[in-house]
Structures are given as C-alpha cells and as structure tokens.
Structure 1
Amino acid sequence: MGVNLGWAAEQARGTGVRLLIEAQNPHNAPGFVLQGQARAATVVDAAAAEQPVLLFDIYHAHHTEKDLHASLERAWPHVFHVQVADAPERHEPGTGDIDSFRVFAHPEEHKYRGWIGCEYAPADSTTSGLVWRRTPPTAVLSP
C-alpha cells in the first residue's frame, strides 16, 4: 500500500487534491486491504510526508471497533471527513444500533467544520430519510 500511496501523493502534489484513506469492514468488504481504524491511522502516520488523511466511516467502524466512540477519539487527529450510516441495515442515522447523538456530539465538541457525508440507503424514501437532519436522531442503544 505504501508504494501506491506514495505514487498517489506524488500525483496529487501541488493540485489541491487531498488524499483520503478509508477503512472498510470485513462483513461488507471481505479481503479489503485496509480494515479497522487503528490500521488506517497507522498508514496515515507512516505516510505523513504525503499528507493523507482519514475518512472516518461510522458504519464501517461500528463493525470493526470494540468501542466506536473511543476509536473515533483516537483517530480524530487524522480525520478530515466523516461519513454516516446506521447499522445493521445501513439506513439513515437513528434507525439502528448506533448511538447517533453521541456520534454527532464528537465532531461538535471538537469544533469540526468539515463535511459529514451520508452514505446510506434510506429506509423509506429519500425525503423521509432526511428528517433526521432537522430532528436529531434518538439514541437507540446506550454505550
């Protein structure tokens, strides 16, 4: 991975393009080379000269980390982008097992001003699937 990351960094140098690294989970992406947030952060650290950053995908982290919130805290210095979907069905926040209130509190507490991407399939329609933006999702499971 280091050679590919180095090559990509060289191609991106001076273009304003930022390299994002995203870990996957073995359930949805068996055999994916980068599984787990700790491994992704290690890759980011090892390639510090190339300035890659971490895309923290809440859905994938939920499947690979023992403590999603502790993992988010450890990874935070490397996080440039956050992506959300609830588990287990990969629907909008507030429809599954992830404590969405706690997840969304973390970027707020750290004064995060970047994007939060939505990578989920709405449980119903696209319009009804966006209601969580106006009304914070309820905590389905407490930590």
Structure 2
Amino acid sequence: MPRLAANLTLFYPQHAFLERFGAAAADGFKAVEFMSPFEHRAADVRARLDEYGLTLALFNAPAGDAAKGERGLTSLPGREEDFRRSFSTALDYAAVLGNDRIHVMAGVMAADGEAARYRNTYLENLAYACAQAASAGITVLIEPINPRDIPGYFLNRQDVAQAIRAEVGAANLKVQFDCYHCQIVEGDIATKLSRDMPDIGHIQIAGAPDRQEPDGGEINYPYLFELIDQLGYEGWVGCEYRPRGDTSQGLGWARGLL
C-alpha cells in the first residue's frame, strides 16, 4: 500500500505554513513534503516535524527568483555559482530537518538558448551536487515537468531524465516521477514506472488534466497504486495537487491508505 506524504505547499492553504504540519497529522499523514522551507528557520520547521511525529520526504533546493520567472538554476549557463550557493543552503537545511532527498529544479531555457550549453551546464551542476550530497547520505532528484505548467522548462521527458541520470553516473542521483507531468507530456505511465522503477527516487501524484485530487480525471490511480506495490517501491508518494476545496474534506479517496 503506497505511503502518502502531504504536500504542504499546496495543502491547507487556509493555514500559515507552520500550522499545516498539525493539519496533516490530524488527517493521518505520517510524512510531508514541500517546495521551499527557506522562509523559516530550519529549527522551527524541525520543531513542527518533531511535535507531530512527521517524516520529511523531500524539499526543493532554492530555485532562483520566482518573480523573474526563474524555476530552478541547475541548467542555466553562467549561474553556476548561484546554483552552488543554493545547493549549499539546501544541504544546511537537510542537516537540520533530517530528510535524505533534495529536488533540484532544472530551470527555464531562454527563448534563444542553445540546448547543448544548457545540457552541459546541467550535467556539470548535477555531478557537483551529487558529490557534495554523498557524504551526507543525500539523494539528489531531478524531475521532468510538463511545458504547459512551466513553458520552456529544460527537462520534460522521463527517458531524457533517465539518460541524464545515467550520464552523470552518480549512485545518489535519481528521478522524481510525477505521474501528472508524465501523463501530460507522454502518457503510458504504467510502462514507464515498470521500466524505470530501480532509478526512481520519489513518486508524486495528482489528477490530470486539472492537477486536483487523484480520484477523477484520466489517470487510474487505484491501478497504479497496485502496480507501484508490485514493483516493490518503498518510498513516499507525494500528494502534490491543488485541492478542489477544503483539503481534509477532499481526502475521501485516501482514507483507506491513511
């Protein structure tokens, strides 16, 4: 049975961030994930995890200036020092928060960008991050994201992500498999999970095409949950969706799993 993690960036929007931990625990979650803890002291976030007995599945490294349209630094030529500083910050937080997975967003290509330069930068930065993370027991995650949600995003496909993972060649580099993004870009989710499972480091779910609860839309999650179990996946499954209404009331689909 999949182990579900509440995404506190999207869940319980009526609460301030540090109040969302208690709401998740009250709904039966044993783990959480979120995009960015950096607006808060690591010690304060850790205190909430400890208070409610929650495991932190993962968070994202700082992804640049969102107001300027930045969605990650890892592939951006000329931003290597910015990436290194951001990843150092993420490692500092992970040392306090206790998670063993950090997602590094690839970033958005400039309209006139040269794909080969972005790819070379991506490979070099991933190799650096994996070397820095290895001594701390941290797995670095890369995630294909659909270009409808983030136009111009550098990494869109599962096979491309797996090829990059193999080229970097670091044992602590894995792919974050978001079923929602995969469905939008290429579909055939079950085949790709079966093909890539040994090198998948985290799974996320949401309904498609609207990124809401996974109890409707075009993805058959009961089937995928059985498959994920059969494939021997033991990690967390992040619920990274936008609730249609009240988060807790919309969790009927998850009652048997929580």
TM-score of the superposed pair, with normalisation by structure 2:
0.50
Shift of 1:82: 0.5
Counterpart-to-counterpart distance in 2, 1:71 and 1:99: 15
Residue 9 (structure 1) aligned to one of 130, 138, 158: 130
Contact 2:206 2:212 in 1 (8 A): yes
SS in 1 for 2:218: coil
CA displacement 1:30-60 (0-9 Å, x = unmatched): 1111111111111111122353011100000
Question: After the TM superposition, which residues 1-143 of structure 1 pair with which residues of structure 2 at under 5 Å, given as runs?
Answer: 1-135=122-256
Counterpart-to-counterpart distance in 1, 2:134 and 2:198: 22
Could you tell me the percent identity over the aligned residues? 37
Amino acid at match of 2:168: A
Shift of 1:66: 3.7
Counterpart-to-counterpart distance in 2, 1:75 and 1:29: 24
Amino acid at match of 1:23: P
Contact 1:65 1:71 in 2 (8 A): no
Larger deviation, residues 38-47 vs 68-77: 68-77
SS in 2 for 1:120: coil
SS in 2 for 1:129: helix
Counterpart-to-counterpart distance in 2, 1:50 and 1:112: 17
Gaps of 5+ in 2: 1-121
| Higher Cα Rg, which structure | 2
Count of residues in Structure 1 that have an aligned counterpart in Structure 2? 136
Counterpart-to-counterpart distance in 1, 2:227 and 2:142: 20
Counterpart-to-counterpart distance in 2, 1:26 and 1:84: 17
SS in 2 for 1:106: helix
Shift of 1:64: 1.2
CA displacement 1:72-97 (0-9 Å, x = unmatched): 22221211211000111101111211
Shift of 1:132: 0.9
Which residue of the partner structure matches residue 141 of structure 1?
none
Give the RMSD, CA atoms, in angstroms. 1.5
SS in 2 for 1:38: helix
